[in-house]
Every structure is written in structure tokens, then in C-alpha cells.
Amino acid sequence: MSASNRTTFAFALKERYTDRKIENLTLADRPLMAMISKDEDFMGLQTPVPLIYGNPQGLAGITLARAQTSQSNIVGAKFNITPGDYNGSVSIGDKVIMESRGNPGAFLQNKAQEIDGLYEQFSDVIATYMYGNSGNSIGVVSGAPAGLVVTLSDSSQAMNFEVGMSVERNVDDGTNVATAPVANTYVVTAVDRSGGTITFDNVTGIADTNFLFRKGDFRGDTGTFVFAGLQDFIFVSNSPPVLYGMTRTPDPTRLAGCRVPSAQLAGMGIAERLMLIGAWMTGRYKGKGADAIFMHPEDWQNLSVGLQSQGWRTLTDDSTRFGFTAITGVIGGRTVKIYADRFCPLGLSFLLRMENWKLHSMGKLIHPVNGDDLTLLRSATTNDYEYRLVSYPAISCNAPGYSGRVSVAA
């Protein structure tokens, strides 16, 4: 039998990592990422996504002439969506290949966990950034470091950190394109997930309220980003910044999503807050209403406990490929399903009309680099090979005003 080589292993990898296998690795346990409509034919530097936010106003009761003099056309705008990029890599030693020569199955058994893990971690990052903004912050520092230990202001965000991960910091959340990245690098040596603390190999310069980022993901003035997330499209206030070339201040609800003033939420529980914004979305905001709501599992559980005596029911949603569990109820006059998604920020809920949202990518959302038909690539500086993943993603929404956000924090 001839010795196995890189081409043999590439074929074995192709046989293992079928489309179904990759879907199971990348979409299971990630409800929003799994449920959002996909467009894998994204191409070009820009793709326009038009939307109409004002109807013709040539109406009057007094005379036809008055209606004619009041004429106006539809009011529209467009997002010029651009693809981002994200990369992943895991090394495969030449010695491992030699040790498993003649048996590519042995190689796969040895390396499958690492490659599977790369797909999983890559997917976690994309799922996290979908709920965020284009700055890509994954945590905020609370107080001064205690030795090498940094406390997060939101302990639930400890899930975004892993031992061995390289991290950077900044005073800005990454969305200010006038802010330069900071040169420091911090390597995670320990994570206390229940306590919300991260231990680094050094804490030089880390201070209270600093934002933390996966190394290389801070946007700032570098002009590069992965993609704009839900918090970009559904902005926190009525003063949204320009997004994908669109000025959104003429109608910050229709062009930058629905929200309610925080004063209106005082004293309300989670269900009441969802019902209030749902009513505003279909009432005073004249929207079509959400059909899916996403929230952090801890918020979802608190909501579920509070609704048990009110006739709301929890069910397995067979309409989703992975059978996600949902609470079904009526909000804003629309039947909605409420999903728990661990990548949704704790204390924040998104009400989405799913048909208006799309996750674009050039090719598969996450796919191996194999344009030369070689899934395994020779490293430039060692005798190792690399298995590389890449994504060219973008999110679009053709009607932000039909979706909303609301704080569900106590």
C-alpha cells in the first residue's frame, strides 16, 4: 500500500466534512444563526438593499386640487451592503501525517476534535457578533484588575473567553472609526465563568470600563470589520449613525428599528416589557409586528417561570431544523415564538420579523480554503500543514422598522 499523503487526507476530510456535518457543527445550538435566511450567492464590492419608509402623501378631503398640490412620491433609501471577512486556522503536524500513513482514518480520529473545535469556535464568534455591533467587543472591564484577574461588568460575558485566547483592549467599543487600536496583547490563562472573571498573562494598561476584544477583531480606524450586527440595524437610541452609507436620522424608527423610552419600562417585568414594545411596534410605529423573539437563556427562563400560570406554553418548534424550544404567545396582536439563545446579550431582547433579515455570504457561510483543491495547506514557516476556514459574511435588513429591541434587565 502506498503511503498516505496530503491529497489522501484532503479527500478523507472532504468525506467527513459534508454539508450536513458542517451544518450540525455550525448551526446547532445557535437559534438565530440557524433560523435566519441564508444567501450564499453574495458577490461584488457592494450589494444595494433598498427599503421604502414613506408612502405617497397626495391626499385631501376638501378638493382633488388640494390632493394634487399635496402630492409626494414614496420615500426610499438603501443600504450598500459590503462583505466582511473572518479567518480561522488550526495546525496539523507533518509528523502526525507520517505516523498515520496508510490509514487516513487514524489521522482523522487524531485531528477531528481539533477541526471540529475550529468549526465550533468560528461559529460561536459569528453567532456572538450577529447580536452585537460592528465594533465586536466581547466584554467590558469592571474596576481595576486584582493582580492578573480582571472582572467583567457582565459576568455572563465570560462565555466569550477561552483559555489560550489572545485579547486586546480599548477605551472605545470599536464602532468609532476615529479610534486607533491599542498594541497590547493579553493571553487568557484562566476563566471563572460563574464569577465573571478572566485571568491574563499580563494586565498592562487594563482599566475600569475598558472594552475587550478577540485579538484582531477591534474595528476602530482600521476600516475593516466582520459585519454589522443587530445592534447596528436596531440602534439603541433615536440618534443612529450612518450605516452602510444610509443616513437614518430622517426616520430613526423606520430606518433604525423600534425601541421604547427607558422611562416607559420602569417597574415592568419581562413579559410586560415585551408586550409594551410589541404593542408600540404594531400600533404607533405602524409596523407589521415581530414573529420571533430572541433572548438570553437566563432571561428566557425567568420569563417562562412568570408565564406558567398565564396560559403561555413551551413547545419544541418543529419548523426549525434543529427543533429549538420556544414559548408561544400573542404580542402586539401577533403570534410570536420566543427563543433562548445564549449568544444574545443578557438583559436585552430582540423582536424580529424574520422575513426581513438575511445572512449573506460569498459561498458557504463558513468553508475551508480550498480554491486550489487542496484542503490542507503547507505552512510557510514550519513543516506543518494548516486547515483553514474562512467566511465572507454580511447581514442585511430591508425593513428595520418592523423589528425592535427592549431591555429586559430587572
Among 236, 239, 237, 307, smallest CA distance to 270 is for 307
Q: Assess whether 14 and 153 both reside in one domain.
A: no
For residues 11 and 71, state if they share a domain.
yes
Last residue of a domain, one of 222, 248, 270: 222
Please say which residue of 203, 222, 241 terminates a domain: 222
125 and 59 share one domain: yes
Give bridge partners of residue 220 from the DSSP assignment. Answer: none
For 4-33, the pLDDT digits (tens) are: 445 555 555 666 677 788 888 889 899 999
Could you report the per-residue pLDDT of 112-140, keeping only the tens digit for each? Answer: 777 888 889 999 999 999 999 999 999 99
Which domain CATH number covers 207?
2.40.33
Give the percent of the chain with pLDDT over 70: 83
Q: What is d(CA 294, CA 12) in angstroms, rounded to the nearest whole number?
A: 38
> How many folded domains does the chain comprise?
2
Please tell me the pTM assigned to this model. Answer: 0.88
What pLDDT does residue 1 have?
32
Range of the domain at 186: 139-222
Q: For residues 383 and 378, what is the distance between their CA atoms, to the nearest angstrom?
A: 7
Question: Is residue 185 located within the same domain as residue 263?
Answer: no
Domain end, chosen from 159, 192, 222, is at 222
Per-residue cell: 166: 489572545
Residue with cell string 440602534: 235
Q: Within this chain, do residues 261 and 372 fall inside the same structural domain, yes or no?
A: yes
Same domain, yes or no: 382 and 273 = yes
Query: DSSP string covering 150-181, please?
Result: EEBSSGGGGGG--TT-EEEEESS-S--TTPPP
Dihedral angle sign, alpha carbons of residues 152, 153, 159, 161: negative
* Same domain for 257 and 116: yes
Could you tell me if 361 and 380 lie in one domain? yes
Residue (of 349, 343, 399, 348) closest to 33 by Cα position: 343
